Amino acid sequence: MALTAGVVGLPNVGKSTLFNAITQAGAESANYPFCTIDPNVGVVDVPDKRLQKLAELVQPQRVIPTSVQITDIAGLVKGASKGEGLGNQFLAHIREVDAILHVVRCFEDDNISHVSGKVDPAADIETIHLELVLADLDTVERRMDRLARQKKSGDPQAKIEYELLSRLQPELAEGRMARLVEWNEEELQLLKGLNLLTLKPILYVANIGEDEVAQADQNQHVQIVQKIAAQEEAEMVTVSAQVEAEIAELEGEEKELFIEELGLQQSGLDRLIAATYRLLGLITYFTAGEKEVRAWTIRKGTKAPQAASVIHTDFERGFIRAEVVGYQALVEAGSITEAREKGWLRLEGKEYVVADGDVITFRFNV
């Protein structure tokens, strides 16, 4: 599934270090602005303990996790919407992603320069917000100019869209992001056609110092980001990009012990990737057989035939039914056979909406 989240933020907040840790893709990281110019793209496995548990039950030949795509976008600066710091190019890269991971610097380090001379999460967030809003305001006003001409010719659709943008334009002019304005589903669909930057969902990533991992909540910068995220009803995760880079180099038991020594139940990256998955509106279903146990990605609300098409288009074209058992029920039963005998294995048709954690066998005929 070609959905992607873009990592954005001011220069020198730790974006590329975090991206490297997430994807181990080797994106260049350095202590000067605009180190990242062309966006780096990486695909990372989504951590899911359910997959391993299913593998223990089924004993397949292989286990295949699902994944999410992450794009590292160059640091924005004040004036980006006016072309400062290659701003137009960077904003165009943000338009291409489905969700935004906004990395905010919450660590003090005299050896790493800050673009504005001091660590100030609220000001940093405001800088990024303003540039996104101004870029959207320009998009909306240019679109309204075209619609005004079409409206005069009697185009009814142009009139509807013009009235919608007439509501949005003053909100953007006041510095408010489009996603924080109340829209109905029909209006949202119209707005999505404009690919507005401030309509994209945001996950705040508070990047803290190496020595603050166990007491992240005591970091005053983190508290500021938490407050802003709460006001926007946005999600937030706290990570140390430097620590996560170290964790990414470890494997197996050594990795688990290091995470435990840090006083964590799971790595910050695992939390970040899981949160990104939710941010994109994605869920996971599983297939489980002797050859493989596999996780599949679909959008929340997907019906069974369309979920089957993720495996192969023939599965949707020749869809007959889906044999479904929930993950928890299967674990409790101990096997598909036991789940069937207990009556927990259901037969679902074309209108069934797949739930997160469903274990499915598709029946089809082509």
* Binding site feature residues for ATP: 12-17
Which residue numbers belong to the known binding site?
A: 12-17
Rounded Cα distance between 175 and 159, Å, is 25
Are 190 and 143 in contact by the 8 Å Cβ rule? The answer is no
Measure the CA angle with vertex 178, ends 177 and 181; round to 5°: 100
Rounded Cα distance between 68 and 274, Å, is 9
